[in-house]
Structure 1
Amino acid sequence: MKKRQWQGWGPGEQAEQHYLVQPRALAGGGDVRHVSEFLRASGWRDKSKTGGPLLMESPDRTVRVAYDPYILPGGWTIHGQAGANGEWSAHLGRQTPVEIVAGLTDALTRPRSAHAPSIWAPLQEQNWHTRFEGQDYTATSPDGTAWMQYRQGADGSALWWTGAQDKQGNGWTAYFTPDTPMYLVQAFSAELAGPDPVMRPRGRVPHSAQIRTWSVSVKPSQLGAWQQARITAARAATWARNSARSTRPRTTARPYTPTGGARTRR
């Protein structure tokens, strides 16, 4: 059998212009596959219809992640079960950067931490400003373009409201219903406050006076390698979890057999 030579790093490969964008909250939506391919590699089922919106379902069928750009306002909907009868959902606008969306969706594939989650800790670590506004508690990014707010209604209901907006009014909003697991909201807030820029191809950078950009030349094979590394990590983590489950010791007691007693053959 002849081996095919991989052409990814071939001499004819041309670098393409991309841009690093900061702050990441104003970088625009990005490539939806950043979310969907990680979920697929983590064992999620792709329930999407041909030509329709994205729909991914968790292996245990308790959580669904959908992205629909064909309706208004469009965007992401994550829906799951909370306990025996409860439900929770998160709704994220179309321009929510996929890297921030992945903070939440990646966390859905991992076991919960034993530590109590803190939504505010990742924001405070990045010097976000926190304050009370009546019954609401709000954290705002240092440049004022992004926020995270805990809202409590007069009837006692509460939700998390977040988003980003520039001075021209461009941006996105998102909210999480009260029963949304707090570790998921924390994973989202950590990516929201992340200081690292995100990459966008030429022509996909929002026009905003509030963003900073750096031009970089990237080969298609480099992009492919970075994407594949993320997918490989998801597969490895899934394999490790499945292996751990299959090697757990049995907890059911074996039938008692008296020492030296005769066993009846069937």
Structure 2
Amino acid sequence: MTGAGWKNRTPRSGSPLSFESPDKSVRVGYHSHTRPPMWVISGTPPGRPAWNASLGAAVPVEILAGLTDVLAGPRPAHAPDVLGRLTARGWKPGKGEHPGADHPDSTATLQYRREGGTAMWSPGTDGHSIPLWRAGFSEHTPLHAVEAFAAALADPQPVLRPPGRIPFAAAPHAATTAYPVLPSQLAAWRQTRTAAGRAAAWARSASNRATARLRPRPARIRQAVPLPPRPAAPPRPAHPPRSR
């Protein structure tokens, strides 16, 4: 996030961890003293309703990064399709009363709920299993951000974890393979990610400048004001005849 120009707003006490977008419209924070601990993302876009999202502390960092990366970049031109991102990866349409999609092995689900005057994207449960982590997005969360979350959630690419760092509840559903990684490789991946973040920030800044240039300016109307008439010059006195 810092590579994309986000400001570190963490207080000197070190908690809560907090970052702010360059345009100050989005904040990302980690609240370790809440029960349960969670990531909280809040948006206050100018001229639009505020929104917020919360993700459990155990959310994989790759999924959190997929969400924050899209918030740091320019808004995509295509129409977001949250459930389409999941079904394209083999997820099944949800069977409940709420629109959603379920992972083929039933270990994850995402639903869109509308209850009363509010709406929210959130995981659903069958009432019996205890989820490893939860996530929720309020009604006015930008759809392209929820789409990015869904894309990261359904990404089949393996992730790197140090030995012994796989959560106990997730171990029965994970297949592990030993993969040696050199420190130089980690440094190269980190540098690549930082460069990508800076490119996204530059693209967003360029998009904002282009929008500002295309915004119509109010026309200036100049009105002619008639000047008052000049006073007539006084008549010159007649010269007396010269005596000879």
Normalising by structure 2, we get a TM-score of 0.78
Residue of structure 1 aligned with 2:136, choices 135, 159, 175 = 175
- Structure-1 residue corresponding to 2:187: 224
Instruction: Tell me the distance in 1 between the aligned counterparts of 2:48 and 2:87.
Output: 34
Q: Which runs of 5+ in 2 are unaligned?
A: 221-244
- Structure-1 residue corresponding to 2:84: 121
Instruction: Return closer, same or farther for 1:82/1:163 CA change in 2, 3 Å cut-off.
Output: farther
Instruction: Tell me the distance in 2 between the aligned counterparts of 1:239 and 1:67.
Output: 26
Instruction: Tell me the distance in 2 between the aligned counterparts of 1:195 and 1:168.
Output: 23
- Structure-2 residue corresponding to 1:191: 152
Q: Which moved more, 1:106-115 or 1:180-189?
A: 106-115
Residue of structure 1 aligned with 2:112, choices 150, 162, 167 = 150
- Structure-1 residue corresponding to 2:240: none
Q: Which amino acid aligns with 1:94?
A: A
Residue of structure 2 aligned with 1:47, choices 1, 5, 9 = 9
CA deviation after TM superposition for structure 1 residue 124, in Å? 0.6
Q: Which structure is richer in relative contact order (CA contacts within 8 A, separation 6 or more)? A: 1
Residue of structure 1 aligned with 2:74, choices 105, 108, 111 = 111
Q: CA RMSD in A?
A: 2.8
CA deviation after TM superposition for structure 1 residue 109, in Å? 1.2
Helix, strand or coil at the partner of 1:212: coil
Tell me if structure 1 keeps the 8 A contact 2:53–2:138. Answer: yes
CA deviation after TM superposition for structure 1 residue 101, in Å? 1.0
Pairing of 1:72-87 with structure 2 (within 5 A): 72-82=35-45, 84=47, 86-87=49-50
1:184-224 deviation line (CA, Å, top 9, x unaligned): 10010000011111111123122321111111111112111
Q: Which amino acid aligns with 1:197?
A: P
Normalising by structure 1, we get a TM-score of 0.72
Helix, strand or coil at the partner of 1:101: helix
Instruction: Return closer, same or farther for 1:196/1:116 CA change in 2, 3 Å cut-off.
Output: same
Q: Which runs of 5+ in 1 are unaligned?
A: 1-38, 256-266
Q: Which amino acid aligns with 1:123?
A: L
Instruction: Return closer, same or farther for 1:238/1:156 CA change in 2, 3 Å cut-off.
Output: closer
- Structure-1 residue corresponding to 2:198: 235
Asked if 1:92 is matched to 2:55, the reply is: yes
1:41-86 deviation line (CA, Å, top 9, x unaligned): 1111100023222100111111100012233101110000255262
Q: Which amino acid aligns with 1:141?
A: H
- Structure-1 residue corresponding to 2:100: 138
Q: What percent of counterpart residues are identical?
A: 41
CA deviation after TM superposition for structure 1 residue 163, in Å? 7.3
Instruction: Tell me the distance in 2 between the aligned counterparts of 1:222 and 1:168.
Output: 38
Tell me if structure 2 keeps the 8 A contact 1:148–1:161. Answer: yes
CA deviation after TM superposition for structure 1 residue 238, in Å? 2.6
Q: Which amino acid aligns with 2:174?
A: I
Pairing of 1:53-68 with structure 2 (within 5 A): 53-68=16-31
Asked if 1:214 is matched to 2:177, the reply is: yes
Helix, strand or coil at the partner of 2:77: coil
Instruction: Tell me the distance in 2 between the aligned counterparts of 1:206 and 1:192.
Output: 17
CA deviation after TM superposition for structure 1 residue 243, in Å? 5.6
Q: Which amino acid aligns with 1:175?
A: G
